[in-house]
A and B are shown apart, each in its own frame.
Chain A
Amino acid sequence: MDVDLKQCESLLSTIEEVSELSLLRSYRHQFQQAFEHSNLVYDVVRSNEIINKMHDRLIKRSIEIAEKEMIGEGLGPPPSPYCYLLLGSGGRQEQTFGSDQDSALVFADVASSEDQLLAQQYFMLLANKIVQNLQSIGYSPCDGKVQSNVEMWCKPVSDWINQIQNWIEESNWESIRYLLICSDIRSIHGDTSIFDQLQNNFYRLIEQNSHVYQRMIDNTVHHRVMVNVFGQLLTVKYGEHYGSIDIKYGAYIPFVNAIRWLSIRHNIKATSTLARLEQLYLKKQFSDDEYLQYRRAFIQFLSLRLQAGFVEVNDYFESYSMINPKSLDKHQINQLKKNLQVGRKLQKHIQYFMRHSSR
């Protein structure tokens, strides 16, 4: 094991003990530096695992610190059991070093409506603190306002289920988007039984309302895989990213969307794309070859996302999503072209599957 990898692992256990935000931030820095020097970059699956372990621990510590602050300020412990949830790339355990915050909070139902109101106020305050804490250690707030300190994403479990029910009934562009976001939810801290309740209901409701499957496809297929029918890369034509390929929106996201959709369709509750792939395979949705092809393609997309790197702007860490093919060797480019075609095939596969399964 190389020295830097050892350092990464020891930092991971150190993070669990830290009780100061500024220290968390400095450990994050150290971890990122150690990671860059380690041999880990050559093992993408392992890298992804360890990076997400780091995020999980940082986030968990930030939540625990926020809980303590609440008590310190005389607001007391949580009035009812709750669960802090990660969505988006956090939910999928696919965060890069520059991922932003996508989060939600669910708490147990409270008997009286008065208590419910108080609980709501408490958890909004707590969520605010958590979001602040995370910001201070470099997690930029979510542009799309999918964040635990926004009321829509901070609710008692019965309200959550009603909200999901409403989204399904509305089935407009925005509500379908929310449903898709919810399918990536993962619990990071707190009482997981509440999360299980929420997740079970989510899948039950979706299954009972199969019209949303088509709407979910409509909502996602506009992200094109950036390769044309000749197998050439579709690169940015003008401007500062001239000649680059958008790895995030032109490769990774369309792939994630397609696999997510298949998983929802088959009632698979795993959230990481690799776990979803595996379960789909176990459910005989792919042949051996397809499974290997898809897995290989996705792993390259993950690897290129990491390779695209990140930057620190205004105290936040932000990912780059562009890769210039000039920075890749010939083998990588050929592999990428192949894998993007696999991504295209997958997009077609789900559309075909939808048409034929709805008959």
Chain B
Amino acid sequence: MLKKTLLALGLISMVFPLAAYASEADIAAISVGLDSLWVMLAFILVLLMQGGFILLEAGSTRMKNAGHVAGKTIFTVGLAAIVYWAVGYGVIFGTGGIPGFMAFSDFFLTPPLTAIEGEGIPTAVFFLFQFAFAAISLSIAWGGFAERAKLISYVVFTLFYVSFIYPIVAHWIWGGGWLANHGAQDFAGSTVVHLTGATAALVATLLLKPRIGKFNKDGSPNEILGHNQVFTALSVLILWVGWFGFNAGSTVAIDDGFFAYVGFTTLIASGAGGFAALIISWIVGGKSDITATLNGVLGGLVAITASCAFVEPWAAAVIGLIAGILVFYSVKMFNKLKIDDPIYALSVHGMAGIWGTLANGLFATPELADKVGVGQAGLFYGGGIKQLWVQFESVAVAFVFVFAASFIVLYVMKLLVGFRVSEEQEIVGLDLSEHGVYGYPEQLTKAE
């Protein structure tokens, strides 16, 4: 027995020689390498969430727009990469500029080839990860454009949104800006990514006005069903998986394994969100609603995004439950307000984003606030009203800024080049009118 143990130990030390003989510098290098690998993996997961958005948008809209809806996500992500490299990254994480408001350097970034000793993960991997967030926020905004915006508007909006609108908010909260100085807690971006995207979507849908046939003359809404509920369900799964990169990856380090706890709260909240939405739709509507359940899971994910590193498991469950119910009622509310929200972006990313950010002000624990090093404990943990106020401030300010900035961009664009396709184009579908081919050529004919 003893012989066997010694033999095994010997073999292990051959396989992992560093474990036995590593110097402190080696350990630091390995640690940076592992952290980089984790962030790279998280970047890949978050980028793959675009696949979720492709299916979510395509599944929730009509067949005649499917190719357009799916394809435009790919090209806007590509365009966003260039714009983010050229401008966006520098506005968030650069130096100089207007202190607290925006940075102004590192445009057309040339990152060092490797990690710089003592400075953590390489800039390149940090850039990749951060870019993926900007791209997600952009894809959320497209929810307000769906099924009626001109293709050119996607190009124009990408340029402005990824270079300034998103980066300015991200700088305030993540880039050492003024809200960061106030102690605003938004771990992975309930406000920075989700509310910002949803606010842009709101502006777009208000300026575009509802899709043809969404509301009757007397104001009563019609149901425009998505063409593929299986796509929509699959999209939620893809987003759900990706979200573990989104939230847990936001530790941007492996360190002591805290990222796993972040993933843990993420899971609890999303499950609670889906469950709550299922039950509330069942109770209130008489029948359980699949779309509501899917939105509930997403709502739970969006809400926990800000608070995943700041709250205890029970609080994660409560945050998710409330998000699920909130999203359900929010969808009803937008219908009542006659605001067309085809992908439910306003409810899922907007309302749940607001709730998730505010939730920190209630549920953040002193230990976790300390650990993350941002802000302080929430109302239920003896922190008083202060953190809740800061959270409210960041939500309100981000909303007002993004609303105003997006409005200016989209309104001017509407005046100069137009925003919405013609009635005929909308009826015939964007696949044909914008691209000349159908996404489902066998099933649709030009005579439609």
- Select one of B222, B283, B284 contacting A239, CB under 8 A: B222
- Report yes or no: B223 in contact with A234, Cβ–Cβ below 8 A: no
- Select one of A226, A228, A240 contacting B220, CB under 8 A: A240
The interface residues of chain A lying within 8 Å CB-to-CB of B285 are 228, 234, 237
Nearest CB of B to A151, in Å: 38
Nearest CB of A to B282, in Å: 9
What's the Cα separation between A234 and B222 when bound, in Å?
Answer: 17
Nearest CB of B to A154, in Å: 39
A sample of 28 inter-chain contacts (CB < 8 A) reads A224-B286, A226-B286, A228-B283, A228-B284, A228-B285, A228-B286, A230-B283, A230-B284, A232-B284, A234-B285, A234-B286, A237-B221, A237-B223, A237-B285, A238-B220, A238-B221, A238-B222, A238-B223, A239-B216, A239-B220, A239-B222, A239-B223, A240-B216, A240-B220, A242-B216, A242-B220, A242-B221, A243-B220
The interface residues of chain B lying within 8 Å CB-to-CB of A224 are 286
The interface residues of chain B lying within 8 Å CB-to-CB of A239 are 216, 220, 222-223
Most buried by B among A224, A228, A234, A237: A237
The interface residues of chain B lying within 8 Å CB-to-CB of A243 are 220
B115-145 vs A, Cβ < 8 Å mask (1 yes, 0 no):
0000000000000000000000000000000
Number of residues of chain A lying within 8 A (CB) of chain B:
13
Which positions 208-231 of chain B face chain A at CB distance < 8 Å? 216, 220-223
B404-420 vs A, Cβ < 8 Å mask (1 yes, 0 no):
00000000000000000
A197-235 vs B, Cβ < 8 Å mask (1 yes, 0 no):
000000000000000000000000000101011101010
What's the Cα separation between A224 and B222 when bound, in Å?
Answer: 22
B276-292 vs A, Cβ < 8 Å mask (1 yes, 0 no):
00000001111000000
Q: A228-B284, A240-B216 are in contact. List 7 more A-B contacts (CB 8 A).
A: A228-B283, A228-B285, A237-B285, A238-B220, A238-B221, A242-B216, A242-B220
The interface residues of chain A lying within 8 Å CB-to-CB of B221 are 237-238, 242
What's the Cα separation between A223 and B220 when bound, in Å?
Answer: 25
Residue of B nearest to A243 (CB): B220
What's the Cα separation between A239 and B223 when bound, in Å?
Answer: 7
What's the Cα separation between A237 and B285 when bound, in Å?
Answer: 9
Which positions 359-417 of chain B face chain A at CB distance < 8 Å? none
What's the Cα separation between A228 and B288 when bound, in Å?
Answer: 12
The interface residues of chain A lying within 8 Å CB-to-CB of B222 are 238-239
Nearest CB of A to B334, in Å: 13
Nearest CB of B to A254, in Å: 12
The interface residues of chain B lying within 8 Å CB-to-CB of A230 are 283-284
Nearest CB of A to B122, in Å: 52
What's the Cα separation between A226 and B284 when bound, in Å?
Answer: 10
The interface residues of chain A lying within 8 Å CB-to-CB of B283 are 228-230
What's the Cα separation between A230 and B216 when bound, in Å?
Answer: 29
Nearest CB of B to A61, in Å: 42
The interface residues of chain B lying within 8 Å CB-to-CB of A229 are 283
Nearest CB of B to A221, in Å: 13
Nearest CB of B to A282, in Å: 34
Residue of B nearest to A239 (CB): B222
What's the Cα separation between A63 and B222 when bound, in Å?
Answer: 45
Nearest CB of B to A121, in Å: 49
Nearest CB of A to B217, in Å: 10
Nearest CB of A to B93, in Å: 46
Which positions 3-28 of chain A face chain B at CB distance < 8 Å? none
What's the Cα separation between A229 and B283 when bound, in Å?
Answer: 6
The interface residues of chain A lying within 8 Å CB-to-CB of B284 are 228, 230, 232
Closest 10 CB pairs of A and B: A242-B220, A238-B223, A234-B286, A238-B222, A239-B222, A229-B283, A228-B284, A238-B221, A224-B286, A228-B283
What's the Cα separation between A234 and B285 when bound, in Å?
Answer: 6
What's the Cα separation between A243 and B284 when bound, in Å?
Answer: 14
What's the Cα separation between A229 and B285 when bound, in Å?
Answer: 10
What's the Cα separation between A121 and B286 when bound, in Å?
Answer: 49
Residue of A nearest to B285 (CB): A234
B143-174 vs A, Cβ < 8 Å mask (1 yes, 0 no):
00000000000000000000000000000000
The interface residues of chain B lying within 8 Å CB-to-CB of A228 are 283-286
The interface residues of chain B lying within 8 Å CB-to-CB of A232 are 284
Nearest CB of B to A35, in Å: 29
The interface residues of chain A lying within 8 Å CB-to-CB of B223 are 237-239
What's the Cα separation between A224 and B220 when bound, in Å?
Answer: 24
Most buried by A among B216, B222, B223, B286: B286
The interface residues of chain A lying within 8 Å CB-to-CB of B216 are 239-240, 242
The interface residues of chain A lying within 8 Å CB-to-CB of B286 are 224, 226, 228, 234
What's the Cα separation between A67 and B286 when bound, in Å?
Answer: 50
What's the Cα separation between A232 and B221 when bound, in Å?
Answer: 20
What's the Cα separation between A240 and B220 when bound, in Å?
Answer: 7
What's the Cα separation between A230 and B284 when bound, in Å?
Answer: 7
What's the Cα separation between A116 and B216 when bound, in Å?
Answer: 58
Nearest CB of B to A256, in Å: 19
Nearest CB of B to A269, in Å: 34
Nearest CB of A to B301, in Å: 26
What's the Cα separation between A228 and B284 when bound, in Å?
Answer: 6
The interface residues of chain B lying within 8 Å CB-to-CB of A226 are 286
Residue of B nearest to A250 (CB): B286
What's the Cα separation between A157 and B222 when bound, in Å?
Answer: 50
What's the Cα separation between A229 and B281 when bound, in Å?
Answer: 12
What's the Cα separation between A238 and B218 when bound, in Å?
Answer: 12
B213-255 vs A, Cβ < 8 Å mask (1 yes, 0 no):
0001000111100000000000000000000000000000000
Residue of B nearest to A225 (CB): B286
The interface residues of chain A lying within 8 Å CB-to-CB of B220 are 238-240, 242-243
Residue of A nearest to B225 (CB): A238
What's the Cα separation between A239 and B220 when bound, in Å?
Answer: 7
A240-258 vs B, Cβ < 8 Å mask (1 yes, 0 no):
1011000000000000000
